Chain A
């Protein structure tokens, strides 16, 4: 099916899980970037990912829909939830939005655990591995390009202006509420897409895959990489995905590592590893 040389095929097969994680985490990093770039701190990315993953698994396993239909439909579920929490949380700002979105993640975990149709503590297994590697990376590339283009337009300027000074942004005629909602929805859609792709690349999903720990891990992608451009959080995601692989023997240290990265990044790299800031105009 593919024109990939055999040695690369072997490599991809051996490290398939890592390669999948690279692409999926790259998308999650962009999902985080969407909100951070507009000056919001949401910690709901893992929850949105979980909603996309569970929705896609159910559509495949229970409804029997083909993958090409499942993929665009699944993100609609987290987008719906984002709309639901969007109303109240958009009135919240700063740390309150963060807490509200952590709450969403914890509530959903309880729901996954207690609903039989969602597999309970066992989760859902037997999901066909129908997400090809190339598709994951093609979608990541498209998302990156989209953020790049939008970032160099009035939309990117409005988002950075909001992040810098919300009051001044309002005085410029920037519809801050609309941008907040739009970025939250885009973030939810991307995370949901990442969830659907990962569910269909690993064959199993469980209720604990989308809790507080992954939420913090996704935040650390952006903290490590930075938010000066959409490339930065993706770089952060790649590094934080590969680093634990390099430290294979210390798998238990993954969480500690994320914590250490967050602390170090905040202390020593307030603008991230890739501090370079993209230009905010296309002409």
Chain B
């Protein structure tokens, strides 16, 4: 079953075609990767999917429903969550409050219930805090709950962004270079975290530079070059594809050709 379908998706900037008529079907479940050289249009593609940037052409469908015209917040409410290449946490808020912000769309207590402090609102807040704490536990940040997000280390901040995105139990999680800047141990932890997320039923679409990381983790790979999709298939096939090798992977290590 297809969770996300992009058809002829394009985004033009003055002088640059960042994303050029990309077709892509992302099945529900599993890890799917978008790779490509710097400037290939990977982040722009994520911005198009999450609705932060409007397409110059093409359509985006989530679970069969056209969401091309929906603003970013409406798409988030439909279950598209994301992290950012350059981390964007709410620095003045605590770690727990960041995770709670990720639950925003799941809370429904009315204005009046909040003003009057009705039991219905208090119960919902208690449940929300419990769920937010679970999301923090998932990434190992439960003990930092009451600290300001701004004091977290780089690796912790990356994990909090994932917890915040996961708090609302999204259908599709977009991770933009989640391993960037992580040390090897943190990268291993991240890979197992992504496996846990996928096990729990969230589909992961990720942009990553670390080819080894991507190849070991992903069920499918989409390769972009100058905004165009030049490959879509299994990681093994990507490794063998001449165009992908020329554009991105580079020649295989010296030795007898396969």
Contact = CB atoms under 8 A, between A and B. Distances in A.
Interface of A: 146, 149-150, 153-155, 157-158, 160-161, 164-165, 167-176, 277, 280-283
A141 to B, nearest CB: 14
Contacts of A280: 93-94, 97, 100
A159 to B, nearest CB: 11
Contacts of A172: 73, 76, 101-102, 104-105, 164, 168
Contact of A157 (B73, B89, B93): B93
A171 B52 contact: yes
B104 A146 contact: no
Interface in B109-140: 109, 111, 114-115, 117, 121-122, 125-126, 128-129
Interface residues of B, number: 42
Interface stretch (B34-42, B77-85, B186-194, B241-249): B77-85
A145 to B, nearest CB: 8
30 contacts: A149-B114, A149-B117, A153-B121, A153-B125, A154-B100, A155-B114, A157-B100, A160-B92, A160-B93, A161-B93, A161-B104, A164-B92, A165-B88, A165-B89, A167-B88, A168-B89, A169-B101, A170-B72, A170-B76, A171-B81, A171-B165, A172-B105, A172-B168, A173-B74, A174-B105, A280-B93, A280-B100, A281-B129, A282-B121, A282-B125
A153 B51 CA distance: 26
Interface of B: 50-52, 71-74, 76-77, 81-82, 84, 88-94, 96-97, 100-105, 107, 109, 111, 114-115, 117, 121-122, 125-126, 128-129, 164-165, 168
B122 A168 contact: no
B125 A164 contact: no
B88 A168 contact: yes
B73 A173 contact: yes
Contacts of B103: 154
Nearest to B50: A171
Given A167-B88, A173-B105, A283 B93 contact: no
B104 A150 contact: no
